[in-house]
Amino acid sequence: MKYNFDRTPDHRRNGSFRWDLPDVPDDVIGMGTADLDFECAPCIREALLPIAEENCYNYRQRPDRYFNAIINWYARNYGLEVKREWLSTVPSTIGAVRMALGIYAKPGDAIIVQTPAFNPLSWAISGADCRQIANPMKPVNGHFEIDFDDFEAKIREYHPSCYLLVNPHNPTGRVFTRKELEKLVDICYSNGVKVISDEVHGMITYGDHEFIPLLAVSEKAKEIGVQIVSLSKGYNVMSLPHAIITIANPDMQKEWMRQIQAFSFGYATNSFAIEAITTILEGKADEWMKELNAYLARNVEEAMTFFKEKNLPLIPYRPEGSFLLWIDCRNAGIGTRNLDKFFLEKAHIHLDDGLDNFGPDGEGYVRINFAVTEKNLREALSRIEKAFSCK
């Protein structure tokens, strides 16, 4: 491999939410917050150095090169034709979701979402003074599926103004198929429900699983859709917050722009973020991303083989996308609440408790971030085995 994913910065000293944890032993392995341990693609550093050397951070325009990079990226990777007037940017994907809810829903409206759902998305719904309607995912043959009967029944009962789609799904790791997406869009279109699609985990997929952006699904999707993407998860640029919003429907785009102009996001842009995003979308990090996917795929196999061979009372669900492993601990004899405390105390691993981070439908589960070095992953798995052998 050209890039070395076995070497990482010292995240215990750089303010990492995942590693630089207060009041925990120094040997704790950080496997919670969803970011990568690895150094970014070198082209990002090369793109940012001239900006730092200039040392002038004035108001800057988003150049034609930036918009062309987005348009060409969607065409090259997904066969999606995007027009410049469809595009806008805000500093945060969750912020973009919250803004979309404030524009396309009104206080008291129902918002339907597949659960378990990442807490910040639920907070965005409650922050818009809306009601979250849960469409629980159901485990079927080793992965989670959408309960379409429940989805359609709840749309007819609660008449939600918006459906919040998360694809790939966090935390279950599902990458929804074209058939599933078409069905979701058809149901929403027929019932006057707008679709807000959070696609932040879409750059990393495994095997034959193919991520499909919302607006590439159908013409109906373009009529009702708000497509939100960030390169943060795939390219580890969380500290350069930047979300790209694509809205094809002219009336929805007009509503969106009228509201976000008040935040002046198009004027006060981050020069580092614009340059990094442009560089990535132009394809200069494509080889890095290909190798990253291969490295993470090996980590997936390492973890799945471990759980199968060790016969532990844990049921992992093989992720189809992203770098998060969703594990059912309900029959492990450790309860269903505060599971993060068990793994921290018994295995010195910091991970995400399902109930605390993903709501009631996450109770009894944990989420493990496996975007760590192979060495750290093996050490973590060994500690899990010892924790249950000593339980």
Chain segment 186-199, per-residue pLDDT in tens: 999 999 999 999 99
Please state the pTM of the whole predicted model: 0.97
Residue 271's φ and ψ, nearest 5 degrees, are: -65, -35
Question: pLDDT tier at 261 (50, 70, 90 boundaries)?
Answer: confident
Please state the rounded mean pLDDT for residues 246-265: 93
- Dist CA 384 CA 168 (whole Å): 27
Give domain 57-283's CATH architecture: 3-Layer(aba) Sandwich (3.40)
DSSP-assigned letters across all residues of 313-332: S-EEEPPSBSSEEEEE-TTT
**In the chain, where does the domain assigned CATH 3.40.640.10 lie?**
57-283
Q: How much is the pLDDT for 264?
A: 83
Beta bridge partners of 321: 205
Cα dist from 65 to 72, 277, 346, whole Å? 10, 11, 51
Question: pLDDT tier at 390 (50, 70, 90 boundaries)?
Answer: confident
Chain segment 120-162, per-residue pLDDT in tens: 999 999 999 999 999 999 999 989 999 999 999 999 999 999 9
**In the chain, where does the domain assigned CATH 3.90.1150.10 lie?**
29-41+286-389
Question: pLDDT tier at 294 (50, 70, 90 boundaries)?
Answer: very high
- For 29-41+286-389, give the CATH class: alpha beta
Helix (H, G, I), strand (E, B) or coil at 69: helix
Question: pLDDT tier at 268 (50, 70, 90 boundaries)?
Answer: confident
Please state the rounded mean pLDDT for residues 201-225: 98
